[in-house]
Chains A and B, each alone.
Chain A
Amino acid sequence: MTQTSSMPAKRHSYLGLPTGWVTPQSLFRALEISGLFTFLLALGVVFALSSGQFLTASNFRAILTTSAVLGIVAIGQTFAIIAGGFDLSVAGVIPLASVLYAMTSNAGVPTPLAILAMLALGAVVGLINGLVISRVGIDPLIATLAMLSITGGFAFTVTNGVSVPFDHDYAGVLADSGPLGLPVHVWLVAGLVIVGVLVLRYTVFGRMVYALGGSREASWLAGVRVSGLTTAVYVLCSMMAALAGVVLASELLSGSGNLGTDAALNSVAAVVLGGGSLAGGVGTVWGTAVGVLILGTLANGMALLQISSFYQTIATGVVLLLAVAFSRLRAALAPRFYRVTSEFISEDTAAAVTEEVT
């Protein structure tokens, strides 16, 4: 190839780190997340100063415990949103799984088997969601909303509307006390967060999910099996929701059709708070985790400050707006890191034009 006009080869290295460790995009994301994290810390400081009981180990345990269930759902939702869709049916899978788990356990099925059965249930629901969305082509909003009604309805009919208490306390093992006084399920979520981060960053599957969400067309033309990937993502999301249902039932020692009513909205909010976009292609599990913690800390702090529930709803909305604005602002104030010399075709106008003419 004839060379371009002379131009030194620029290697873009940021912060002096070896190229590849940090990219402008990852930096933007890191700033966004650390912006959120800073916001979380600031929130914590505000509460710590206003209430003497905030900064105690038992209170932190309370925050983690009350956030754990949402955390599980939100991890699955993160995948769905990065892939360019979202899943509202989680709010139906949670109660259904809680109820079926209670019933299976009461029927004498050993706990590990019962849990696996619920994961299988989640997989089936996710499979249906994924196929309907990718093969039949129905919008995720409609498809998952319909599935929400179906699964939620099942949760009621299967029990004749009655909630199902556990006959055996051992079925609640996932909510039992674990290391450091934190319940088992909190450790479970922590583990799932780490796995989620690794999968999205270090596997081809993860990259394909980002590609799919960024441009379905480009992914298809590049040979990605778009239908299969979409389905896989929804299977994952529903399985997480089913797991969340099992965990919630374990906490409450009973399954009920009335659980998880705000799971859909809260999980989407947590993902978007954490940097995800409903347009797809962006989002991280780290960010989602911080988002979940923000929501949990907020509820906890407001309870400690005895803010009436009416004001709590308003306050939650305001804080969400502030959190997002703060993190975006912080990232936008560091233009150095992602203003890029996008001109790699050199501006040798004269030469090129003369060539044209002769």
Chain B
Amino acid sequence: MRIRPRIKWLQVAAAVFALSVIVSACAGSSGSPGASNSGSPHKTLKIDFANINDESAFFHSVTQGMKDAEKTIGSDVKVRYYDNKSDGNTTLQNARLMVNDHPDLIIEFYGTEAVAKSAERLFKDANIPCITVNVPGAGGCTWYDLYNPSLCGQTGTAMGKIAAEKGWNGSNTAVILVAAASFGPEINTCQGYYYEELQKYVPGITKISSYKDITLSTTRVGSTTYQVNGDGLLDKTFNSVTNVLQAIPSSKHLIVYPIGDDMAIGAWRALDQANRGSNSIIAGLGGDPRTLVQLRTNPSWVAEGDIFISHWGELLLPMAKAILEHRTTPALTTSPLAVLTKNLTVPNTLIAPMSNFYKGSETNATELPPLVPVKDGDLPGLDKQGPVGNDYLGAIDWLRKFGNVSGLS
């Protein structure tokens, strides 16, 4: 009878694995050399940035823009980049990796807002300040975002004025809003703010009492207004709009507002295919090069909400510095915003012709809108008010290095 060794190989493997995990954890927490400390002015600031999804052209421009900004600023800042892949699990994993990296500050563009609470607890426990981009998060980070009330609202103003001038009113016009259900309720407050303004200028369309009346499950507002879901996708929007157009008599003029550029392209294609493009006006949101081209060349494309996303890095990095210098920051720091039009200007608003910011046939802005003074306003999705603006960034010298913010010496 053979005497076999009683070693269970599985147990050995498990022990080796556990041991290696322990060893690497110890090595990890022993602290990297040159650990950061905040506030010291000549120290290279170490910042970790997790982008929402680098696979999307649109969002990838944030990363690209930040890399350019980093280069312009020079050796005062060093950024490490992560990709959240629009996925909760990945976002959390990245959060842990970033915390282990011990940066001076973390900029978090969540892959999905659901993980905000857990991620922010990690940051808090590690005592690392953070900035959250595009969504308020769980309240543990300073908020940077485009500002729906002004951007979407003033797109409504612009389109409303243009429609009224054409003689469009509630009896001969229909409004189609395109939502992105999977992006969450805050982002979808955009349609509400848009409509609040639109209804001031286009007589006869069904009135809402507040932006909150339009929610993600709204599909109809009275007799004049429709909302469909495009989920942020070109082809899905194409199909949804194609279908809903069947419910609207072909004689009606159409005011179409998708709250994202992929969706705007898809919606435009649907209008064009249904031969109703010439009888509609449409605006997008995002300032994507494709839609800028449309704004220039397509008579029906009357406006474009531009958030200058490829320049976000130019504000986020100074904002990080401001936080690390313990300056007062508003509840919401706004990104550069403009409602681009062909030639309509409305003073004291974001509405301005495209040529103010884009030279010739360029699709990269050479001039950014001026900084916005901080004052109280709606905090979208949070149901309260607070200080909103970004002019405090003027005090950070980095901002001047880019030389493109209007009105900044």
On A, residues with C-beta under 8 Å from B are 51, 53-54, 56, 58-59, 62, 65-66, 69, 156, 159-163, 165, 175, 183, 248, 251-254, 256-261, 299-300, 303-304, 306-312
CB under 8 Å from chain A, chain B span 241-267:
242-247, 250, 262, 265-266
A-chain residues with CB within 8 Å of residue B250 when the two chains form the complex: 58
- Most chain-A CB neighbours within 10 Å: which of B179, B229, B243, B262? B243
Asked if A59 and B246 sit within 8 Å, CB to CB, the answer is: yes
Complex: how many Å from CA A59 to CA B244? 10
Task: Give B213-238 as 1s and 0s: 1 = Cβ < 8 Å from A's Cβ atoms.
Answer: 00011111000001011010111001
B400 sits at the interface (CB 8 A): no
Complex: how many Å from CA A261 to CA B247? 26
Asked if B56 and A306 sit within 8 Å, CB to CB, the answer is: no
Q: Looking at the complex, which one of A56, A162, A252 makes contact with B235 (CB distance below 8 Å)?
A: A252
Complex: how many Å from CA A310 to CA B229? 9
B378 sits at the interface (CB 8 A): no
B269 sits at the interface (CB 8 A): yes
Asked if B229 and A309 sit within 8 Å, CB to CB, the answer is: yes
Asked if A259 and B234 sit within 8 Å, CB to CB, the answer is: yes
Chain B: minimal CB distance from A56 (Å): 7
Asked if A310 and B216 sit within 8 Å, CB to CB, the answer is: yes
Asked if A252 and B234 sit within 8 Å, CB to CB, the answer is: yes
Asked if B262 and A310 sit within 8 Å, CB to CB, the answer is: no
Q: Looking at the complex, which one of B218, B233, B239, B269 makes contact with A258 (CB distance below 8 Å)?
A: B233
B273 sits at the interface (CB 8 A): yes
Chain A: minimal CB distance from B328 (Å): 37
Complex: how many Å from CA A248 to CA B273? 13
A-chain residues with CB within 8 Å of residue B26 when the two chains form the complex: none
Closest to A263 in B: B235
B240 sits at the interface (CB 8 A): yes
Asked if A252 and B266 sit within 8 Å, CB to CB, the answer is: yes
B55 sits at the interface (CB 8 A): yes
Complex: how many Å from CA A253 to CA B273? 11
B-chain residues with CB within 8 Å of residue A300 when the two chains form the complex: 243, 246
Asked if A156 and B233 sit within 8 Å, CB to CB, the answer is: no
B290 sits at the interface (CB 8 A): yes
B57 sits at the interface (CB 8 A): yes
Chain B: minimal CB distance from A153 (Å): 8
Asked if B262 and A66 sit within 8 Å, CB to CB, the answer is: no
Asked if B273 and A65 sit within 8 Å, CB to CB, the answer is: yes
Known: A58-B250, A307-B219. 8 other contacts (CB 8 A): A53-B247, A66-B243, A161-B57, A256-B234, A258-B234, A303-B247, A304-B246, A309-B231
- List 10 A-B residue pairs with CB atoms under 8 Å apart, sorted by A's residue number: A58-B250, A162-B289, A251-B238, A252-B235, A252-B269, A257-B57, A259-B233, A303-B246, A306-B220, A309-B179
Asked if A257 and B55 sit within 8 Å, CB to CB, the answer is: yes
B-chain residues with CB within 8 Å of residue A65 when the two chains form the complex: 242, 273
Asked if B55 and A303 sit within 8 Å, CB to CB, the answer is: no
B-chain residues with CB within 8 Å of residue A183 when the two chains form the complex: 273
Complex: how many Å from CA A307 to CA B235? 19
Asked if A308 and B219 sit within 8 Å, CB to CB, the answer is: yes
A-chain residues with CB within 8 Å of residue B245 when the two chains form the complex: 62
Asked if A258 and B246 sit within 8 Å, CB to CB, the answer is: no
Closest to A176 in B: B273
B-chain residues with CB within 8 Å of residue A307 when the two chains form the complex: 219
Asked if A156 and B269 sit within 8 Å, CB to CB, the answer is: no
B212 sits at the interface (CB 8 A): no
Asked if B56 and A62 sit within 8 Å, CB to CB, the answer is: no
Complex: how many Å from CA A290 to CA B217? 30
A-chain residues with CB within 8 Å of residue B218 when the two chains form the complex: 308
Complex: how many Å from CA A58 to CA B242? 10
Given that A156-B55, A258-B56, A259-B235 are contacting pairs, would A58 and B243 also be in contact in the complex, using a CB cutoff of 8 Å?
Answer: no
B-chain residues with CB within 8 Å of residue A54 when the two chains form the complex: 246
B60 sits at the interface (CB 8 A): yes
B181 sits at the interface (CB 8 A): yes
Given that A161-B56, A252-B234, A299-B239 are contacting pairs, would A308 and B290 also be in contact in the complex, using a CB cutoff of 8 Å?
Answer: no
Asked if A260 and B243 sit within 8 Å, CB to CB, the answer is: no
- Most chain-B CB neighbours within 10 Å: which of A258, A261, A307? A258
Given that A251-B273, A252-B266, A258-B262 are contacting pairs, would A62 and B247 also be in contact in the complex, using a CB cutoff of 8 Å?
Answer: no
Complex: how many Å from CA A303 to CA B226? 10
Chain A: minimal CB distance from B364 (Å): 13
Asked if A303 and B240 sit within 8 Å, CB to CB, the answer is: yes
Q: Looking at the complex, which one of B217, B243, B262 makes contact with A163 (CB distance below 8 Å)?
A: B262
Q: Looking at the complex, which one of B246, B265, B274 makes contact with A252 (CB distance below 8 Å)?
A: B265
Chain A: minimal CB distance from B52 (Å): 13
Chain A: minimal CB distance from B228 (Å): 7
Asked if B55 and A66 sit within 8 Å, CB to CB, the answer is: no
B54 sits at the interface (CB 8 A): yes
Complex: how many Å from CA A231 to CA B289? 42
- Most chain-B CB neighbours within 10 Å: which of A56, A59, A159, A161? A161
A-chain residues with CB within 8 Å of residue B269 when the two chains form the complex: 251-253
Chain B: minimal CB distance from A149 (Å): 11
Chain A: minimal CB distance from B85 (Å): 12
- Most chain-A CB neighbours within 10 Å: which of B57, B60, B226? B57
Complex: how many Å from CA A6 to CA B41? 108
- Most chain-B CB neighbours within 10 Å: which of A165, A175, A306? A306
Asked if A260 and B219 sit within 8 Å, CB to CB, the answer is: no
A-chain residues with CB within 8 Å of residue B265 when the two chains form the complex: 163, 252, 254
Given that A251-B238, A258-B56, A260-B235 are contacting pairs, would A165 and B247 also be in contact in the complex, using a CB cutoff of 8 Å?
Answer: no
Closest to B220 in A: A306
Asked if A303 and B273 sit within 8 Å, CB to CB, the answer is: no
Asked if B217 and A310 sit within 8 Å, CB to CB, the answer is: yes
A-chain residues with CB within 8 Å of residue B55 when the two chains form the complex: 156, 161, 257
A-chain residues with CB within 8 Å of residue B54 when the two chains form the complex: 161
Complex: how many Å from CA A219 to CA B273? 48
B-chain residues with CB within 8 Å of residue A253 when the two chains form the complex: 269
A-chain residues with CB within 8 Å of residue B234 when the two chains form the complex: 163, 252, 254, 256, 258-259
Asked if B246 and A161 sit within 8 Å, CB to CB, the answer is: no
Complex: how many Å from CA A261 to CA B181? 16
Asked if A62 and B181 sit within 8 Å, CB to CB, the answer is: no
